[in-house]
Structure 1
Amino acid sequence: MALDHDTMINPPIESLLDKVDSKFTLVTLAARRARNINSYFNQLGDGLGGMIPPQVSSTARKPLSIGFQEISEKKIVWTEAPEPEPELEIDPEAEAQAAADAAAAESDD
């Protein structure tokens, strides 16, 4: 029988991977949040107030650990980005014809 023990990452990586689709997404999300937390602590004395403070009370002092804990407690939720819409190619001749038709319609009024 295997005993549960503390791992190097607390919360455990298994519970973190349940919140996102891949390890890459987990690391990217936590790193972005760690950068935001770092910026928040760096601008505290300036009174700017532009950054969001940590959303969890944590004993960890490292921004990345705080980011992982926020993901674990669902304070940060990953959503899949929508597919970008394909760009439409506009035929220059059709565009010129449409502009000419619009100008003709204005002159008739």
Structure 2
Amino acid sequence: MRGTVTSTRSVAEGITNPPIDDLLDKADSKYKLVLYSAKRARQINAYYSQLGEGLLEYVGPLLETEVQEKPLSIALREINADLLTVEETDGSEGYQSNGAAASSQV
């Protein structure tokens, strides 16, 4: 007899949630979505790295996170929740947080 493993999560997180089709509505192409989410994930990762040192150069997660949630998953959820916007700045794309006191540009 085989045992079954049950999960405490009712919905899978990460690349499957939010769905990729919903995320593609937020960017012009898959390529831009990848760049957009990767830049934000690097900022979130840098924020956590600097948190212990007291250097708050980067903006942290703009929504509630779960324990051990990956920066890319957080970035994708922020994009899906319209907490970030893509803006053209000096010929390169940057993004800013919507409604947050601190803004972040790459």
Q: TM-score, normalised on structure 2?
A: 0.66
* The one of 15, 24, 28 aligned to 1:17: 24
For 1:1-109, what aligned pairs fall within 5 Å after superposition? 9-59=16-66, 61-80=69-88
- Alignment partners' CA distance in 1, 2:89 and 2:59: 22
Unaligned runs of 5+ residues in structure 1 are 85-109
Q: Which structure has the larger Rg?
A: 1
Q: Which moved more, 1:66-75 or 1:51-60?
A: 51-60
Q: CA deviation at 1:79?
A: 2.8
Residue 82 of structure 1, CA deviation: 6.6
CA RMSD of aligned residues (A): 2.4
Q: By how many angstroms is 1:73 displaced? A: 0.5
The percent identity for this pair of structures is 43
How far did residue 81 of structure 1 move?
5.1
Residue type at the aligned position of 1:44: L
Paired residues in the alignment total: 80
Using the size of structure 1 for normalisation, the TM-score is 0.64
Structure 1 counterpart SS, 2:87: coil
Taking structure 1 as reference, are residues 47 and 19 closer, same or farther at Cα in structure 2, changes over 3 Å only?
same
Displacement after TM superposition at 1:78 (Å):
1.6
Q: Which one has the bigger strand percentage?
A: 2
Structure 2 CA distance for partners of 1:24 and 1:45, relative to 1, 3 Å: same
Deviation of 1:48 (Å): 1.0
